[in-house]
Amino acid sequence: MSTKSTINLCLPAQEDAGICATALTTYLTTKHNEVVDATQNHLKARGRGAHRHAVEEQISSQTFSHVHAVSFRVDKFIEYVQRHCLIYSQQTGQLEYDFDAAERWLVDVYFATCPSVRLEMDRITYLDEELSSNARLVLREHVPQVELPPDILALLKTEFHNPTVAHSCIESLDLVLIFMQEVLRGAAGTTLGDTIINGHMRSVLLTNNDLFKSQTLNAEVKVKHVDGLYKFLWSQLSEDEFAQVNAVYKVKLSEEFSHSDGKQTKNFPAVDQMQLDELRMLAPRLDLKTVLDCMGQLAVEQLAGAHLNRGWSIVESLMPYQDEAGLPAGFENLFPADLRMGHFVEVYKFLDNLSTLGEAE
């Protein structure tokens, strides 16, 4: 490593470059404890297991510092050996060094006070789509979400002309939700919904700085508007309505895919044209507007991460929304069961085209 190396090589993590720092720290801890064990065995062999400097228990690596490490100067050690370890051998009558005495001095003075270390190391967790998506699930469990009011939405549209600003706000919002999880789990969710997001996080982070590069967002948007805010911000980054949906749900209708549940891998075929023809014929009985609204809600709430098995049928994934969304009677039996979550976005687009073209009439 050098000063030009990226900093993530120094940050311990469970994956990617962070494994290097984790492996190095584990190796050094192991070697340190091997020296401590050898020292204690040496003292016991000399009958000094209860040595006054012997360490009684381990210390956490989080409190480890230079005072707990073995540190000595070789020139000082050589000087001691030359002055105090030179003896006459009764067998040879010549000057010899008593290396056993040198070893005892070295152990007693430097090694005996060195404690063993218990590795307790925090690891870096990087903000990613999965982490922020999990945080959004926690938010929805505790704070009912509502759409952004039209007046606030209109003000936001006048402020966002640069995709870079929208991306910056998404990153800040992800960070907000990560911090907010523990507060929500602490039963504060019922009162947090009407709290301004920026004001709440300023009090948590003890800062006077605004989090977002938007005056309206900082002053008007509340915790109960998070889902609507994400939807708006992503719309500023891409014309794709499903920009924030995980790619695993965007398989083309003409392509097959596979899914592993950790035990076995299942393969799912491409969508057959007969299935699409069947769906087109059933469209007049499906109330496509309601079905599309329900699919849109599912996409926002569940599909930013990979929370749903993409091998599940779409109809099964929509059933929990049946009462809330008012899906048509018999929807479970009408909608083709072989259409899978891996093809979710493409199926949505197919139904949306049917609705737009008026084929559902």
Q: What is the 3-state secondary structure (H, E, C) of the chain?
A: CCCCCCHHHHCCCCCCCHHHHHHHHHHHHHHHHHHHHHHHHHHHHCCCCCCCCCCCCCEECCCCCHHHCCCCCHHHHHHHHHHHCEEECCCCCCEEECHHHHHHHHHHHHHCCCCCEECCCCCCCCCCHHHHHHHHHHHHHHCCCCCCCHHHHHHHHHHCCCHHHHHHHHHHHHHHHHHHHHHHHHHHHHHHCCCEHHHHHHHHHCCCCCCCCCHHHHHHCEHHHHHHHHHHHHHHHCCCCCCCCCHHHCCCCCCCEEEECCCCEEEECCCCHHHHHHHHHHHHHCCHHHHHHHHHHHHHHHCCCCCCCCCCEHHHHHHHHHHHHCCCCCHHHHCCCCCEHHHHHHHHHHHHHHHHHCCCC
pTM above 0.85, yes or no: no
User: Each residue of 139-181: pLDDT tens digit?
Assistant: 888 888 888 999 999 999 888 877 778 888 888 888 888 778 7
Q: What is the pLDDT of residue 359?
A: 47
What is the residue whose two structure tokens read 């057959």?
A: 272
CA dist 274 and 128 (Å) reads 39
With 0-12 CB in 10 A as exposed, 13-18 as middle and 19+ as buried, what is 3? exposed
pLDDT in 10s for each residue of the chain, 361 residues: 788 877 777 888 776 777 888 888 889 889 989 988 888 888 888 876 544 444 456 888 888 888 888 888 888 888 888 888 888 877 777 888 888 889 888 888 888 888 888 888 777 666 555 666 677 788 888 888 888 999 999 999 888 877 778 888 888 888 888 778 777 766 666 678 888 998 888 887 777 888 888 899 999 999 899 888 988 888 887 666 677 788 889 999 989 998 887 778 889 999 988 888 888 888 888 888 888 888 887 887 788 776 788 888 998 888 877 666 677 777 888 888 889 999 999 998 888 888 876 544 4
Q: What is the pLDDT of residue 306?
A: 65
CA dist 178 and 134 (Å) reads 9
